Amino acid sequence: MRSSHTSPPLTGPCIQQDPKHSELTQFGALVVRWCENRKRKQADLANAAGLSPSYLSKLIRGRREVTVAAITALEQVMHTDGALADAAARSNDNVPHRPPQIRRRTAPAQLPPTVSTLHGRDHELASIATWGPAPGLRLFIDGALGTGKTALAVTHAHRLAPTYRAGNLFADLRGHHPDGPADPSDVLAHLLKSLRLPVPDSFTDRVQAWRSATWSTRLLLVLDDARSTEQLTPLLPSGAGCAVIITSRYRLSTLLVGTSTQTLTLAPLTRTHSLNLLATRLGRTRITAEPDISNHIAEVCGDLPKALALAAEHLSTHPNVPLERLLSEHEDRWELTKITDNADGSMHAALDAFYKTLPPDHQRAWHLIGSIDRTTTAEEIAVLTGWAPGHTRSVLEGLVLAHLVTRRDSTYDMNALIRKWGSQMGTGHQRGSF
């Protein structure tokens, strides 16, 4: 990093308005002002950052390109929270043959659009608003399948985005995709490409490149639908100027140990908010005209926004047919959530894909608890399966972490839709074995 140039060190303050220093770039002006405010010589700053004073002098006058390495070194001393990198990007516009990673560019803006009306999440949004923007913000949103984790994360990210000058990135980690979760190496390639940085061949080099790129910048990152801590860890930004919002159907406890991660576990909607969601999508008149049927739809959907949205989409295709009539056309009302002609996929497909990612004993317990159709205990499951008490507890703990069952004292309960699915899913799979 140290340059071989040996011109005399720069001393004393100088500011951009001074005609003597009118050639200073924005980056240069920032460095000069920083020295001036702290009464430090530029040579001392250069030495502290491991640069030669003459090299720093050329950088601040725009006679040399400002490299990522130089910014990283200076930021470690100056702590300008990303402002240095931003100023360098602008300053390098005027430097010929500048390196591509420092060229001024449009900041990436990859956040998907927000849901137009987010029902029943005012309290959650208010609570996470108190946590950021903050240095090194790390927010982890978990909750059962289809509780609206992505919708909440994206809404919050849109609110934070203006504070993150280097832009916002969104990566789908495909935690429950039928083809398996996204490979972190592929995700890193996507992230680096999004910042228009070169993508090294090896995984280790990609991790290093990502950490260098996020060390001294202000970037907002959403990592959606994470599967495991192993998948997430290499993707976390290294610098305190970045914020990351993670969503997962799992409570990834080991990720949280020893970190300042803020966590929020999302529950299904209250019945009132479920009905409001249906009213937004089907029209208030339709809901108030058939209150019992509307309530029944919300119940069948387990008050899960994803199921409610899919059911509403199905019902909205026949605006002039009473809801009761439409429901009576389904042999099993639960089929409401099975529609497949939707870009988001059906609830049926989502549950099926999730089920297939689970170990056999977790699948068996999901089916069993679903079939019992009331709250149960570990002792009851142990008797029905013949499992040892320790193994039974560990399987149930796995289902709790996956938000497939909830525990209260010593009893375990299941969401209505998740229960229904479990009871049907095991048919033929485990029948006869308990």
Q: Which residues bind ligand ATP (CB under 6 A)?
A: 115, 118-121, 145-151, 225, 247, 249, 277, 305-306, 309, 344, 350
Chain-centre distance for alpha carbon 234: 14
Order of strands, sheet of 243-248, starting from the edge strand that comes earlier in the sequence: 168-172, 220-226, 243-248, 138-143, 262-266
Q: Answer yes or no whether residue 392 interacts with Mg ion by CB under 5 A.
A: no
Report the distance separating Cα 260 and Cα 6, nearest Å.
Answer: 44
Between 67 and 280, CB nearer to ligand ATP = 280
Is 61 within 8 Å of 122 (Cβ atoms)?
no
Q: Answer yes or no whether residue 248 interacts with Mg ion by CB under 5 A.
A: no
* DSSP β-bridge partners for residue 142: 248, 265
Question: Residue 139 CB, nearest distance to ligand ATP (Å)?
Answer: 14
Of the candidate spans 150-158, 205-213, 260-268, 346-354, the one that interacts with Mg ion by CB under 5 A turns out to be 150-158
Pairing between β-strand 406-408 and β-strand 411-413 as defined by DSSP bridges: antiparallel
Between 92 and 247, CB nearer to ligand ATP = 247
- Residue from 295, 310, 299, 315 nearest 347 by CA: 310
Alpha-carbon radius of gyration of the chain: 27
Q: Answer yes or no whether residue 150 interacts with Mg ion by CB under 5 A.
A: yes
**DSSP-assigned letters across all residues of 255-294:** HHTTS--EEEEEPPPPHHHHHHHHHHHH-HHHHHHSHHHH
Q: Which does 337 bind (CB under 5 to 8 A by kind): ligand ATP, Mg ion, none?
A: none
Between 312 and 327, CB nearer to ligand ATP = 312
Q: Which does 138 bind (CB under 5 to 8 A by kind): ligand ATP, Mg ion, none?
A: none
Is 262 within 8 Å of 288 (Cβ atoms)?
no
Question: Residue 275 CB, nearest distance to ligand ATP (Å)?
Answer: 12
Q: Answer yes or no whether residue 147 interacts with Mg ion by CB under 5 A.
A: no
Between 149 and 364, CB nearer to Mg ion = 149
Q: Which residue is nearest to ligand ATP (CB)?
A: 148
Q: Which does 118 bind (CB under 5 to 8 A by kind): ligand ATP, Mg ion, none?
A: ligand ATP
Question: Residue 174 CB, nearest distance to ligand ATP (Å)?
Answer: 10
Between 122 and 373, CB nearer to ligand ATP = 122
Tell the residue number behind the tokens 């959530």, with chain if given.
337
Q: Which does 350 bind (CB under 5 to 8 A by kind): Mg ion, ligand ATP, none?
A: ligand ATP
Category of 148 on φ-ψ map: left (φ > 0), alpha (ψ -120 to 50) or beta: left
The site map against Mg ion for 206-245 (x = CB under 5 A) is -------------------x--------------------
Report the distance separating Cα 49 and Cα 67, nearest Å.
Answer: 13
* DSSP β-bridge partners for residue 262: 139
Give the footprint of Mg ion on this chain (CB under 5 A): 149-150, 225
